[in-house]
Amino acid sequence: MIKAVIFDLDGVLVTTDELHYRAWKQLAAEEGIKGFTKEDNIRQRGVSRMASLEVLLEKSDKKYSDEEKLALADRKNNIYVRSLAGLDRSAVLDGVFEFIDHIKSMGIKTAVGSASKNTPMILEKTGLAALFDAVSCGLDTQNSKPDPEVFLIAADKLGIPYKNCLVIEDSDAGIQAAKAGGMLALAVGAAKNNPHADYSAESLADSCILRERHYTGIL
């Protein structure tokens, strides 16, 4: 029985995935790194800032020291954070507010489980912050998805057993993390065809999520 839903942030609750992509694109252009594509960006979903940088650097001939890598990650984050300046409620993906209202009305707890260290700021700016009973993010963790740590911390903050948690994710790394943590996983968006997910849907706006028998059964 599901007692808590743990939501990924980027690509599940908000549209910041495109802003991450543009920020990495800009950094690539500044560094003269060619051939960074949307497909590469899909592999950056859900993984930490440093792991995302490694995906970009696969396209570079230059060898960067650890110090230079930290500086590159900082530059990307500065570009990304600047692009969040005008972020507001309109960045919340379709169906999110309705879905959260629905599960809260059933007494189900809600949490965020995101790799992003910018999670608190994004939740505040989009008006989502008050809707969650707990937040676990890149500021809380040592290991990034596919390690389950971010979701285990979310469940621990809620005081709910792992087997009673449903994780909603748009990344393959996130689905792997949820399953490694002994949780159920609903794959949406870019991860919707992931064979390891227990359930899948186009997005939270997909009305079948609330209508279909097996979903109502688990929720």
Binding site for ligand B16 (CB under 6 A): 8-11, 20, 44-49, 52, 77, 114-118, 138, 171
Which of 6, 10, 56, 80 is in the footprint of Mg ion by CB under 5 A?
10
What token pair was written down for 110? 């809600």
Helix orientation angle between 49-57 and 66-83, rounded to the nearest 10 degrees: 110
Q: Which amino acid is at 79?
A: I
Q: Is 11 in the site for Mg ion (CB under 5 A)?
A: yes
Active site residue 8: yes
What token pair was written down for 59? 């396209």
Active site residue 40: no
115 binds, among Mg ion, ligand B16, none (CB under 5 to 8 A by kind): ligand B16
Q: Rounded to the nearest 5 degrees, what angle is found at the Cα of 127, between the Cα atoms of 118 and 147?
A: 40
Q: Which among 6-14, 23-31, 137-145, 208-216 is the span making contact with Mg ion, rule CB under 5 A?
A: 6-14
203 binds, among Mg ion, ligand B16, none (CB under 5 to 8 A by kind): none
Query: Between the CA atoms of 146, 149, 154 and 157, what dihedral angle is there, to the nearest 10 degrees?
Result: 170
CB of 153 to ligand B16, least distance (A): 13
Q: How many CB atoms lie within 10 A of CB 192?
A: 16
Give the residues lining the site for Mg ion (CB under 5 A): 8, 10-11, 46, 170-171
Residues labelled catalytic: 8, 10
